[in-house]
C-alpha cells in the first residue's frame, strides 16, 4: 500500500515499480475567489491591527501596534494608501519587508551565544499587510486543503497522518521524493 501526501494532478505515475496516484486539486468557487481579490476595506485593516497585542513585537522602526491604535485617526490614510497600492500592483515598496535580528539576553550577564534569544524585527506596515492577507486566506483555506492534509491547518497536527499509518501497518518506510519539480511524501507499507 502507498499513501501519497500532496501532489497536483490525478494521473498515476510509476516510481520504483509502484503506481502512485496523485491527489486532486480543490478549486475555489466564485464567492471564495472574490473574497481573496476584493479591495481591502478600512474596517478589515483596522480589525487586523486591533487583533494584535499593543505592546509586543516592535519593528526596526521601534513602532508597535499600540502606536497604530493610539494614532489610528492620523495614520489610517497612510496605512490604507500602502495597502491599496499593494492591492493595485501586487508589489511592495523596496525595503518594506526588511528584517533585523536582535539578540535579547536570557540571563543577567550573558557570556555565550546560548545566553541570548534571537528575535526578528519586521516593519509594522509589512506586518499589517501580512496579517490582512493571512486573515483572508483563513477564510478559504478549508476549501483548498484536502481533509487528509494534516500540517499547517488549525486543529490538525503534522504527524497525524504518519501516526495513523503506523497504527495500520507494522513496518512502514517513509520516502520524500521529487517528481516533475513537485515534492511528495510517500509511505510504503508491507
Q: Are 82 and 95 in contact (CB under 8 A)?
A: no
Cβ pair 12, 20 in contact under 8 A: yes
Q: Where on the phi/psi map is residue 91: left (φ > 0), alpha (ψ -120 to 50), or beta?
A: beta
Strands (E) in 66-122, as ranges, are: 99-105, 116-122
Does this model's pTM top 0.85? My answer is: no
Rounded average pLDDT per 10-residue block, the chain, 190 residues: 42 45 63 88 95 81 87 95 91 80 89 88 86 89 72 71 62 59 59
> Can you list the alpha helix ranges (DSSP code H) found in the chain?
30-37, 42-51, 65-70, 72-89, 124-144, 160-168
Distance CA 165, CA 187 (A): 8
- Predicted pLDDT at 121: 77
The pLDDT of residue 180: 63
The predicted pLDDT at position 1 comes to: 38
For 133-181, strand residue ranges (E) read 173-179
State whether the Cα torsion 92-96-101-102 is positive or negative.
negative
- Quote the pLDDT of residue 188: 56
pLDDT of residue 162: 67
Amino acid at each position: 500500500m502507498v499513501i501519497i501526501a500532496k501532489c497536483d494532478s490525478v494521473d498515476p505515475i510509476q516510481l520504483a515499480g509502484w503506481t502512485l496516484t496523485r491527489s486532486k486539486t480543490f478549486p475555489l468557487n466564485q464567492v471564495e475567489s472574490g473574497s481573496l481579490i476584493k479591495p481591502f476595506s478600512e474596517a478589515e485593516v483596522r480589525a487586523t491591527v486591533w487583533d494584535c497585542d499593543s505592546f509586543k513585537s516592535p519593528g526596526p522602526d521601534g513602532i508597535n501596534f499600540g502606536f497604530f491604535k493610539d494614532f489610528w485617526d492620523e495614520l489610517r490614510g497612510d496605512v490604507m494608501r500602502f495597502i491599496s497600492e499593494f492591492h493595485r500592483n501586487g508589489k511592495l515598496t523596496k525595503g518594506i519587508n526588511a528584517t533585523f535580528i536582535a539578540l535579547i539576553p536570557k540571563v543577567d550577564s550573558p557570556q555565550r551565544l546560548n545566553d541570548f534569544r534571537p528575535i526578528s524585527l519586521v516593519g509594522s506596515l509589512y506586518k499589517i499587510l501580512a496579517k490582512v492577507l493571512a486573515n483572508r486566506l483563513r477564510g478559504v483555506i478549508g476549501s483548498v486543503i484536502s481533509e487528509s492534509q494534516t500540517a499547517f491547518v488549525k486543529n490538525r497536527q503534522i504527524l497525524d497522518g504518519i501516526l495513523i499509518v503506523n497504527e495500520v501497518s507494522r513496518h512502514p518506510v517513509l520516502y520524500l521524493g521529487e517528481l516533475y519539480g513537485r515534492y511528495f511524501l510517500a509511505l510504503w507499507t508491507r
